[in-house]
Amino acid sequence: MTPSALPISPEIQDTVQPKKDTLRLPSPARKRLEKAGIDLSNGYPYRPAKPLYQDDVYKIRDYDRPYTDPGTRADPVKKALLSAAKEVKHLTAHIGTEIVGLQLKDLTDLQKDELALLIAERSVVFFRDQDISPQEQKKLGEWYGEVEVHPQPQAPSVPGVPGTTVMWPQLQATEIPANFRQTGGASRWHTDLVHERQPAGITHLHNDTVPEVGGDTLWASGYAAYEKLSPTFRTLIDGRHAVYRSAHPYLSRANPTAGPQYIERMHPLVRVHPATGWKALWVNRSMTVRIIGLDKAESDLILGYLYDVYERNVDIQVRFKWTPRTSALWDNRITIHNASWDYEGKEPRHGTRVTSLAEKPFFDPSAPTRRQALGLAGPDDV
């Protein structure tokens, strides 16, 4: 049987349709939500009222907030976290680690800090077989920063748990159709919430339901992408800023007929992670618009090259095969990611995501690369 012909087993596809729902909830998702005491009687998921005007969205969190990265408090050895695990598996040389034998909901404060540092070093960390409710997921997210509450109905949340975004591609496809040629959604290289004044730090995605075949997610390392650049080329982008835009458009209150207007912020092309002190390339094809101070042709040429460095070097990427009840925690400050839609919506996929906002991006010219800091840099790296 070909993957496209795989049936949906009855234990996966629920036969009960919640009130006001557009799709039947996958059975594993329903069981998890009901176990957590989530009220589904008024419909699932909860959708906020869509803000219409650009200036209203600009006002959301448009102020500087103090932020201390939990990884800066951690023991570099990370003994409390790593010694408690049954196994620690590095999935590639540059990015991706899987921790076996720990439940995220049971981590001590010390272990949470050490996990933040591990994520800062390895970019994305995976935990399988997790028994975690949306409420517990949000509580963990609050440890890592202010939990982002999304204003868009395209990013709906778990009822009663604001900031816990529902990731349900089948539902999203009923509103924005997807197909093999136009997959849409998260099936493109991107970084979350780059338009924020203080963009995303750690994101925690827990998938309770996944396709039997396909639906992998890929991440690429911003540390390694920066290190792929020649030292001379790095001097061209170090300290430069670019315009980063929102995923969703809005209307101009002064000129509503002007067409889609995006939220835009200026951030550095190269940023430094506060916990590791390492430089990382911070661009993504979906939301980085232009480099400040360059003509459009110059900016497009350089950005196109930077996107390619990130996306085409498979040795700085990890591709993760999900299993039910798996959590992935990644750092948006040092990665881009891409969700494969090769299963084409033929099997259910459902999860919840919590994103913690971090510091205002900054650049430090004296900061080292990861390879320099770890003593891995060769003569061509410096």
Is 371 catalytic? The answer is no
Helix (H, G, I), strand (E, B) or coil at 94: coil
Q: How far apart are CA 58 and CA 60, in angstroms?
A: 6
Which of 204, 265, 337, 349 is labelled catalytic? 337
Is 113 catalytic? The answer is no
Helix (H, G, I), strand (E, B) or coil at 362: coil
Residue 69's closest CA among 238, 271, 244, 207?
A: 271
Rg, C-alpha atoms of the chain: 21
Q: How many residues belong to the chain? A: 382
Residue 353 and residue 242 in contact, taking contact as beta carbons nearer than 8 Å: no
Q: How far apart are CA 349 and CA 343, in angstroms?
A: 10
Is 90 catalytic? The answer is no
* Close Cβ partners of 152 (under 8 Å, ≥ 6 residues apart): 48, 50, 51, 248
* Close Cβ partners of 1 (under 8 Å, ≥ 6 residues apart): none
Residue 373 is inside which H or E element, if any? helix 370-373
Is 94 catalytic? The answer is no
Which of 150, 190, 195, 265 is labelled catalytic? 190
Q: Which ranges of the chain would DSSP assign to H, the alpha helix? A: 27-35, 54-58, 79-82, 109-122, 134-143, 169-175, 222-228, 231-237, 296-312, 370-373
Residue 194 and residue 241 in contact, taking contact as beta carbons nearer than 8 Å: no
Which of 192, 204, 265, 273 is labelled catalytic? 192
Q: How far apart are CA 30 and CA 24, in angstroms?
A: 9
Name the residues annotated as catalytic.
190, 192, 337, 353
